[in-house]
Structure 1
Amino acid sequence: MERTRLGLGHSSTYGQACMQCYKAKCRCVPNLSGGGCERCLRLKRDCHPSDSIRRRFAQRTEESDTRIAQLEDKIETLSSAMRSIASSSGSSAEILRLLNEESISSSTSSPKDTPGNSIGTNPSISEGLTPATAPPPMAPANTNPFYPSHYSLSPSNLSPSQAEEYLDFFRSRMLPCFPFINLTPDITAWQLNEERPILFQAIVTVTTFSTEKKLARAEELKRILFTSALLNVQSNIDLLLGLLTYLAWSADAFLGGADLVSRLMMLAISLVYDLRLFKPSPPDVKLMMTITQGRDYENQGDAIEQTVQEFMEKQRAVLACFVLSSNISSHIGRIDTLRWTPQMEEALRVVGMNRSCPTDQAFAFQVRLQLLKHRAAYIREQHEIDCSHTATTSVTASVPGLLYLKTLRGQLHELISSFPPDLHRRNILIIYAQYVDLYINQLAYAISWDSPLLNLSGQRSDDGILPGLERLECLWRSVESIKSWLENFYTISPSELVGLPFHFWSQMILCVTVLKYLLVLEDPAWDCQAVRNTVDLISTMDCMIQRLDLGSKELDLQCDDNLFKLLSNLLSKCRMWAGARSDMASRMQDVDARSCQSADPGAASHNSYIPDLDQMVWMQSMDLESNQWFEDAMGWLTASS
């Protein structure tokens, strides 16, 4: 060590400072007596040279730099090879072979590399989705710490071209029927998989129309959902959107999975509360004011525009959660609808005013239609509570509910008249509105059921209303609603049918069921023949089966176990029942119908009432792949007819 050669006041050369000065990052001035540096003598500390320690540190740094350079060279070589192969032949098998070879060479040449630094250590990487263009295929996956790395991978055996086909099908033919997500045409499958991996997985699942294949992909999706929400206790918008997408287009409700659908819906509702989407934050309030006051936020910078897009994404999500929870609560039961709040009303107003997204206006109309149906259901619940407090239902007790339902019916017709002629998918909204009208009419019928059908005495009640006459009017309004629903259903092209959400098909089944009840209703003032002349059940089911078969023959649905086949099978069995009853009625033309009814004392009681649309128990246990369910359901329908 040459420290003693330096004169007084001269610092040590670079790299020759003692350990104490090196740690403190201070000047190290050697003492002339050779007993160490002046700082250590002044502080009365032992002065030790740092040559060996710093040399070892420098050696480790040099080794790390070398290893990093080697890894960078390998990554660059691999990326170049993959781009070359993709541009020449696009063979995924060759890419996979190179990945495996590079993984083996990396593991043998760099045994000290950690798993996170080895490209080939993740066996799921071969199933990942790679972009067709830049950025490079080996670009890092989602760096969000809330997402496990394997969530950003696409489903197995899915090539980039297939992924684009799934996304394009969902965006062009399914999402317009229930547009609660804004997927612009410039979003690629690779980008969506990186930014919203769970949503992408849900899209691939619901666009798989073979029941067998869909169930397999649904199992993988449910594993991701349950792991994220329950094991990792995560709450994020990607998880919520993936849940809502699967719930909207899932066939579980028709395949004996009503319990699963209810639990998934409850999970989605819990995410809405965890994310506090029902109560906007102060920044969201500012954005809401910006949008509603007509300011041009697009000119305020990309950051503001991105924030507005995220805000609108949340507003659509909470409104979609309300619509789906209301439908599932009505058709399947077991859960309560997401509570409607003033903040959600404001969100609905903002979405309805937004013109930057072409489908927001139609989505807002869907939410308003569902809100009217939800309010009608609330009247029924209040009526049931009032009835439970009294032994019998009085005529005057039914009047307030009937008046409120009449008000809702007026609001519905006003809403229908406000549909613009060029509204996106206006025919689907009209069908939706006709079902809401049927729902309101059936509730009014149920509320006034205990009163006489016609008040022949001519005396009005204390409130000046004749509930019996209102009940008869509700029945005929139901016939007209079903007729209008069917006429608009026939206008939907087969390519549009494949994109309809699950609650549309539930509405179709319920419309046919109510029509069946109206055709066999036993009431002195009810003309069943007039109903048959207006809407014939057999020809109706023939037309619907034909439409379903056309939808099943679409290019993307070449499978024998899709939902259209299952629904067609259901209607075919119902048609057999209707045909048998029609033949029986023709054979009884010369027989006294009243005497036949007296021979079967239970027939009048079975046919004299139409159950609520929310109380179709056989709908809640539907399994279109179960022969036992068909036997039980057909037996129930026959007994109740």
Structure 2
Amino acid sequence: MPIAKRRACVTCTNAKCKCSPQSDNLCQRCARLGKQCVYLDLPERKKRRRNDDDDEGGSNSRVVALENRVEELVAQLDAIRNGGTRHVPTSSSTDDTSPPSTGALSIPDALRSSGPASQKPELLDAVSEGYHGREPPKTSVLEGLPDIVDRGFLSVSEAENLVSQFKSRFVWMFPFVVLDPSQTVVDLRKKEPLLFLAVVAASIPSAHPIRKLLADEIMQHITSRIVASSERNLGLVRALLVLCAWYRYPAQKGHVQLMLLMNLCTTMVYDLGLNRLKGELTTDQQRALLGTYWVTASLPRGLNRPEAMANSKKIEECCNNMAVSTEYPSDRCIRPFILAQSFVNTIDSSYSELGESGHDETLVRIMVGAKLRQFESLEATLKEELSRLPNPTTSVFTCNMHYVNIAIRDMALDDEYVSYQTRHAFDQSPSAEAFKTSAYRSSLLWHLLRHSKALIQAYMDIPDAQLSQVTVFTLSQICASLVILPRSVSALLKLIVARQGPPHSRTWPVQGEALDEARAIVDEADFLSTTIRLYEKFRTLIVGLTTQEKGLDVAGTLCCHMSVLASWYAPRVQAILGVDLVVKHPLASITPHAGDIVDVINAANASNSGNTSTASVPPVVYHSTERTGSTDVQQGFPGAYTGAEDGNYLFSDELWASVLESFTSFA
């Protein structure tokens, strides 16, 4: 039997020699030298003791305790993720040698402990992702509750008809949300109830009795599911996009609710990671991402708000993918939508960087020329793609093309856009003053006049039966054109007056060739007649609404604003020229009252009373007039004309700016 290996004896240890055992208590060296061989019983090494324990089937007590604690933490995390709050008892060890507990371990402590990582994948994921609580719910908090069809407010057949109209007609105006032709109303109501409500709200007539109930139902879903419960899924994004595109009710000043819906849509896209997911997105995901970009880039320009989502490589990739998609015919509309709006965004970005130097004529020529060349190339591509689209969509794209032309040239309207206070807060540079009276600016203004009028005409070319399918984004373009058209006329007429010489030497009122030129401008714009035709077109959208209901409808408020704006147009022209060249119409028969004007000016002064950096609007001064035949002779200056028959009010540049500013941000 071989002799067990043991430590060296005392003699060999002192001599630092090798000690080879010969028998149990005698080594070979001591036996050869005749020395006494003594072995000491020293404590075994820790490693040896652990190996012995392993051989005997034991386990390290601390490792066992840590592993048990990790299992407990994992179980607690599973309970929390599943929505439970029950306490998971700590598993205890029956080993008497286990050391006493030193307190609860934190998750990082548990992760640093030994044990196979494959047993703790959920715990590792939770910590690496910054786990701060339970995940958003996977199901709706309103699931199972009866909807408007179940409660009898809308019949099944009517719901099917509205959804069918959306599938076949509305999608061409906003191709970013498409319903599968095979998807039934029952399936849509069950799986995507908010999208169902949004589709009904878009398709339903304005005078339908359940309109307010429908709006309340939609807001209940938004507040309960999206805001309170933080639900996040693709169906909600699609529903929000539809609500934004066909927003009609309730109309609010500044469109606060519409902006909220747009921001919620953007937030949800980011939360779902559609803008950064690697790999190929589904076609519905790509449409949702592109639709959110288009929505948040289109309307903020009309509302004077910053865009919420910028262009990116992911958006360009999805745009190119949808251009070759054959899943739905409306997919071929997506790329033209995105390309046109992206180009408008580049225009705004380029012009915003110019600042005050943007009024220099040389710089304006360079910028406008460059943008026109870029748009010429883009327009050729868009026209080729638009040739394959149905007529209603083509009319909307025609509006878009005119809107792009307006965006390129609207720098020429700066002095008409800027308020009285802003214009007098700083001195104009010589180059800016030279540009304001240049022939090049006059050319830009003529283009603005014609494109604004053409945009409105393109909208009026849409058949009445298809007007309800037009989105709110096209309505915002109509509103912008309705303001830019009279502003262009005003700016051109002021240029004619300015060419007559210094104020003290001008002929007043305007006569001769200058008057003929002014009459040509007014006739070309034909503002009142254009406004009347547009007014009649909009009235088809609000048939059956009461006066109060019209004030809560987007189209209804636009009709009201058109009437007011038309009533101020003739006084503005007369204030500049001293001659009334505008043919009267019943829509424009409202004569602005002197008291209303005083209220406007006093309100402007009151709002600026605490701001010493800006000049206030001068108080109303009633200039005397001298009647010569049928013409009023102004004893003042162009743009400050006492235009009423009784010389009862002052219409100045400042007042005109205050009137127009109330219509600038989408009515």
TM range (shorter): 0.5 to 0.7
Query: Among 163, 167, 176, which residue is 1:167 paired with?
Result: 163
Is residue 634–residue 641 contact of structure 2 (8 Å, CA) maintained in 1? no
Aligned to 2:408: 440
Whichever residue aligns with residue 148 of structure 1, its letter is V
For residue 450 of structure 1, report the CA deviation from its aligned partner: 6.3
Where in structure 2 are the equivalents of 1:382-393 lying within 5 Å?
A: 382-384=353-355, 387=356
Whichever residue aligns with residue 187 of structure 2, its letter is Q
Aligned to 1:427: 395
Question: Structure 1 pair 532/467, CA: closer, same or farther in 2 (3 Å)?
Answer: closer
- The answer as to 2:567 corresponding to 1:576 is yes
Aligned to 2:328: 357
Rounded Cα–Cα distance in structure 2 between residues aligned with 1:325 and 1:562: 21
Where in structure 2 are the equivalents of 1:174-193 lying within 5 Å?
A: 174-193=170-189
Aligned to 1:514: 484
Aligned to 2:37: none
Query: Among 531, 534, 555, which residue is 2:521 paired with?
Result: 531
Question: Structure 1 pair 393/519, CA: closer, same or farther in 2 (3 Å)?
Answer: closer
Question: Structure 1 pair 212/616, CA: closer, same or farther in 2 (3 Å)?
Answer: farther
Where in structure 2 are the equivalents of 1:361-440 lying within 5 Å?
A: 361-384=332-355, 387=356, 398=364, 401-424=367-390, 425-440=393-408
CA RMSD, Structure 1 to Structure 2 (Å)? 3.8
Is residue 438–residue 481 contact of structure 1 (8 Å, CA) maintained in 2? yes
Listed one character per residue, the Cα deviations across residues 415-438 of structure 1 (whole Å, up to 9, x for unaligned) are 443244332321211112111211
Question: Structure 1 pair 565/281, CA: closer, same or farther in 2 (3 Å)?
Answer: same
Question: Structure 1 pair 475/315, CA: closer, same or farther in 2 (3 Å)?
Answer: same
Aligned to 2:451: 481
Question: Structure 1 pair 590/617, CA: closer, same or farther in 2 (3 Å)?
Answer: closer
Query: Among 585, 592, 601, which residue is 2:580 paired with?
Result: 585
Give the TM-score, by structure 2 length. Answer: 0.57
- The answer as to 2:487 corresponding to 1:497 is no
Is residue 249–residue 553 contact of structure 2 (8 Å, CA) maintained in 1? no
Rounded Cα–Cα distance in structure 1 between residues aligned with 2:253 and 2:567: 23
For residue 452 of structure 1, report the CA deviation from its aligned partner: 5.8
Q: How many residue pairs are counted as aligned between the two chains? A: 433
- The answer as to 2:318 corresponding to 1:347 is yes
Rounded Cα–Cα distance in structure 2 between residues aligned with 1:166 and 1:312: 24
Question: Structure 1 pair 214/253, CA: closer, same or farther in 2 (3 Å)?
Answer: closer
Moved more, 238-247 or 172-181: 172-181
Give the TM-score, by structure 1 length. Answer: 0.60
Choose 1 or 2 for highest CA Rg: 2
Whichever residue aligns with residue 196 of structure 1, its letter is E
Rounded Cα–Cα distance in structure 2 between residues aligned with 1:188 and 1:585: 61
Question: Structure 1 pair 277/513, CA: closer, same or farther in 2 (3 Å)?
Answer: same
Moved more, 351-360 or 165-174: 165-174
Is residue 177–residue 499 contact of structure 1 (8 Å, CA) maintained in 2? yes
Question: Structure 1 pair 577/419, CA: closer, same or farther in 2 (3 Å)?
Answer: same
Rounded Cα–Cα distance in structure 1 between residues aligned with 2:247 and 2:400: 19
- The answer as to 2:235 corresponding to 1:264 is no
Is residue 202–residue 242 contact of structure 1 (8 Å, CA) maintained in 2? yes
For residue 447 of structure 1, report the CA deviation from its aligned partner: 10
SS of 2:329's equivalent in the other structure is coil
Aligned to 1:147: 140
For residue 554 of structure 1, report the CA deviation from its aligned partner: 9.6
Listed one character per residue, the Cα deviations across residues 320-349 of structure 1 (whole Å, up to 9, x for unaligned) are 111111123212244433111011011111
SS of 1:171's equivalent in the other structure is helix
Aligned to 1:219: 216
Rounded Cα–Cα distance in structure 1 between residues aligned with 2:343 and 2:635: 41
Rounded Cα–Cα distance in structure 1 between residues aligned with 2:241 and 2:305: 18
Aligned to 1:206: 202
For residue 269 of structure 1, report the CA deviation from its aligned partner: 0.8
Rounded Cα–Cα distance in structure 2 between residues aligned with 1:212 and 1:511: 33
Query: Among 260, 270, 275, which residue is 1:273 paired with?
Result: 270
Question: Taking every aligned residue pair, what percent have the same amino acid on both sides?
Answer: 17
Is residue 163–residue 185 contact of structure 2 (8 Å, CA) maintained in 1? yes
For residue 528 of structure 1, report the CA deviation from its aligned partner: 4.2
For residue 319 of structure 1, report the CA deviation from its aligned partner: 1.1
Query: Among 618, 635, 638, which residue is 1:597 paired with?
Result: 638
SS of 1:282's equivalent in the other structure is coil
Is residue 176–residue 359 contact of structure 1 (8 Å, CA) maintained in 2? yes
Which residues of structure 2 form unaligned runs of 5+? 1-136, 417-427, 500-513, 582-626, 643-649
- The answer as to 2:301 corresponding to 1:321 is no
Listed one character per residue, the Cα deviations across residues 248-289 of structure 1 (whole Å, up to 9, x for unaligned) are 1112584336222222211111111111212242254xxxxx
For residue 499 of structure 1, report the CA deviation from its aligned partner: 1.0
Rounded Cα–Cα distance in structure 1 between residues aligned with 2:321 and 2:352: 30
Rounded Cα–Cα distance in structure 2 between residues aligned with 1:452 and 1:620: 29
